[in-house]
Structure 1
Amino acid sequence: MIKKLLPLLLALIGLGAGIGGGLMLRPAPQEVVEINPCGDLPTTTAEHDAKDEHGEEDPEHAAFEYVKLNNQFVIPDLENGRVVSMVVLSLSLEARTGSRESIYAREPKLRDVFLQVMFDHANTGGFKGDFTDSVTMNALRHALLEAAQTTLGPEINDVLVIDIVRQDVG
């Protein structure tokens, strides 16, 4: 009887020690400092018209356009160092009218920042299980919006997830 319980007991102890060690050795979150070498973008006439007399954004008069990013994002979902699924996303930006060219000019930087946000989301389990539930998707959208506004400034109003697909591997 003890011969049958001993391997089970050792497996449970090993599992608990592994989980505890992983939690204790997890790296601390790193602070990200964004440096904008281009400086602030000048205010355009359309941006000026969208503000009220106090300089605050007037949502009723703000004009937006939708800027679809050229390529999809492909994010691997890892488990124990192995790829278990691939997630493919297509994104569009809701931006102030007239900002399309400046967005496309900075798209490589924006894609890099978005990929980092999505890798972080994947590493915290955001693409596992019911990954399309509203809480998970809202967290991803908020993180992407924050990254877009940090990179491109206040001309970005929203980030829209146009398509999302997860393909399990194996």
Structure 2
Amino acid sequence: MTRITPVLLAVAGLGLGAAAGAMLRPAPAADTAETPAGADAHDAVPHGTSTGAAGNGATGASDYVKLNNQFVVPVLSDGRVASLVVMGVSLEMPPGERETVYAQEPKLRDGFLAVLFDHANSGGFDGAFTETRRVERLRAALLEVARRVLGAHVRGVLIVDMVRQDS
């Protein structure tokens, strides 16, 4: 039973993450026929963004760009893989920066993987790996990489899902 519990938790976590992703999927791009005269299709506020006083940045709107694939990080113990961490990441960006993120995604993923491997090797995914202090430290390191690759206009790194599967 103790070997089945982590597997069931991982499957449940992945299922819930997939369901949440499906529910939060952005609406299809608006047709140019629906765009008011003189407005650009990028002027529309994307689904899942915030506007007004609650938003971040000068304009108050944010676009959340989910990286295409999850990150898989091995956690080693005594020279062998003790567990795997699967993590999904999104970036909070100013509106209209989605293509910039996707154009730089290979370089961004490379930098993120370096941070994730360092985090794993320093024990960040051991024990209570979802502890607020650990997650905030990881998020800050990922944000530093994102800003180095994409520039200072990156508003935040969101860890949208994280599951550890113990061997």
Sort the TM-score into its range (normalised by shorter chain).
Answer: 0.5 to 0.7
Aligned partner of 2:146 in structure 1 is 148
**Count of matched residue positions in the alignment of Structure 1 and Structure 2:** 113
Q: Deviations over 1:100-122 (max 9, x none)?
A: 00110010000000000000000
2:104 is aligned with 1:124:
no
| Contact 1:99–1:155 (Cα < 8 Å) also in 2 | no
Cα drift, residue 154 of structure 1: 1.3
Aligned partner of 2:164 in structure 1 is 166
Aligned partner of 1:63 in structure 2 is 61
- Equivalent position amino acid for 1:68 in 2: K
TM-score (norm 1): 0.64
TM-score (norm 2): 0.65
Between stretches 104-113 and 60-69, larger displacement belongs to 60-69
Task: Give aligned-pair identity as a percent.
Answer: 55
Could you tell me which runs of 5 or more consecutive residues in structure 2 were left unpaired when the two chains were aligned. 1-42, 44-55
2:72 is aligned with 1:74:
yes
Please show how residues 20-31 of structure 1 align to structure 2 within 5 Å.
none
Aligned partner of 1:50 in structure 2 is none
Q: Deviations over 1:70-108 (max 9, x none)?
A: 000000000121100000000000011111001100100
User: Superposition RMSD on alpha carbons, in Å?
Assistant: 1.5
Runs of 4+ in 1 over 6 A off after TM superposition: none
| Larger Rg, first or second structure (1 or 2) | 1
Cα drift, residue 60 of structure 1: 5.0
Q: Deviations over 1:149-170 (max 9, x none)?
A: 011101210000000000001x
Aligned partner of 1:133 in structure 2 is 131
Work out the CA distance in 1 between the residues paired with 2:125 and 2:67.
21
| Contact 2:73–2:116 (Cα < 8 Å) also in 1 | yes
Q: Secondary structure at the match of 1:127?
A: coil
Please show how residues 23-102 of structure 1 align to structure 2 within 5 Å.
59=57, 61-102=59-100
